[in-house]
Amino acid sequence: MNRLLVLGALHYDVVVDAPRLPGLDETLVGSAVDYRFGGKGGNQAVMAAQFGARVSMAGRVGRDAPGAFILDRLDRAGVQRGGVLETDSPTGMSVAISDKNGDYGAVIVSGANLLNDGICAGLETFSHVLLQNEIPESANLALARSLPDDATLILNGAPFRELPTDLLERVDLLILNRVEACQMTGKEDVWDAVRALKTLRLRGFVVTLGDQGYTFAKNGENDWMPAPAVQVVSTHGAGDAFVGALAAELMTGAALKHALSFAQTAASRFVATPIAERSDLTREDVKQAMPHS
């Protein structure tokens, strides 16, 4: 049976609800505060498990209350956490502000995540590996160089940073949002960025376009798919829901185009669902909501 390894960041997230995002030197009165499990690595691992994948997490947390909170969340999600090590550094944190429209901005303090060295035992037992850019580049490189050739390597290039050629050449599928695609290519228009990505030596890529859907190119196939119209509760975590769902569906042996449709449907359901109910979303819920259903 296929198994997914997620190497990435684990954060304790503080999320504040406000009427809008504050401007420079401005203080606003918020309406609520919530404490959540986070980090792109952790979020994507939990989402992949929620949508049916067998998932192992490799990361770092501190020996502190936020670290204990994170370990408990992984356990409750059914994510195997033998590769999550406790350190003397504080657990990584983020502080996010979410406005009345569901848009948000955040600041991350990496903490223990900076100690991640990418050294993972038993790589030969994983069919798929998922990386992001919230841990040191050296960790991603170390894992990529050790990974068996027959394993599928997925890289979510978020947050943006310049990627070394030897890492890009090993990645089977690069996932970017529209801002990251423009940053990577130096283009101002996302469609110019997509055209530029097609000229690079990439095995495959996906660019997510928010409410405009996504576009992809791999193995000579490329397409654009619009997003379904939904009433958004909050976009916080939407990208991680998309990536986790995509990894989970690819592990079933599904073709990329089908897996992307599954991922987009999952992300659309995710942003339209109240935050307290998002952990109840299942693979069957997504399947029933897919366009062909």
Helix segments in the chain, DSSP class H: 40-50, 65-77, 137-146, 165-170, 178-185, 190-197, 238-250, 256-271, 283-289
* SS3 of residue 171 by DSSP: coil
113 is in an annotated binding site: no
Q: Name the active-site residue from 150, 240, 280, 285.
A: 240
104 is in an annotated binding site: no
Q: Which of 244, 233, 268, 206 is nearest to 101 (CA)?
A: 233
12 is in an annotated binding site: yes
13 is in an annotated binding site: yes
* SS3 of residue 38 by DSSP: strand
Q: Which of 7, 6, 9, 5 is nearest to 89 (CA)?
A: 9
Q: With beta carbons less than 8 A apart as the criterion, state whether 46 and 79 touch.
A: yes
122 is in an annotated binding site: no
59 is in an annotated binding site: no
177 is in an annotated binding site: yes
152 is in an annotated binding site: no
279 is in an annotated binding site: yes
Provide the 8-state DSSP code for 114. G
Residue 194 CB partners (closer than 8 Å, separation 6+): 181, 207, 215, 217
209 is in an annotated binding site: yes
Residue 26 CB partners (closer than 8 Å, separation 6+): none
Two structure tokens written together for 235: 């976009």
Alpha-carbon radius of gyration of the chain: 18
Distance separating alpha carbons of residues 247 and 129, to the nearest angstrom = 9
240 is in an annotated binding site: yes
219 is in an annotated binding site: no
43 is in an annotated binding site: yes
134 is in an annotated binding site: yes
103 is catalytic: no
287 is in an annotated binding site: no
Residue type, 232: V
Binding-site sequence positions for K(+): 236, 270, 273, 279
Binding-site sequence positions: 11-13, 39-43, 134, 177, 208-213, 236, 239-240, 270, 273, 279
Binding-site sequence positions for ATP: 177, 208-213, 239-240
Binding-site sequence positions for substrate: 11-13, 39-43, 134, 240
Catalytic residues, which ones? 240
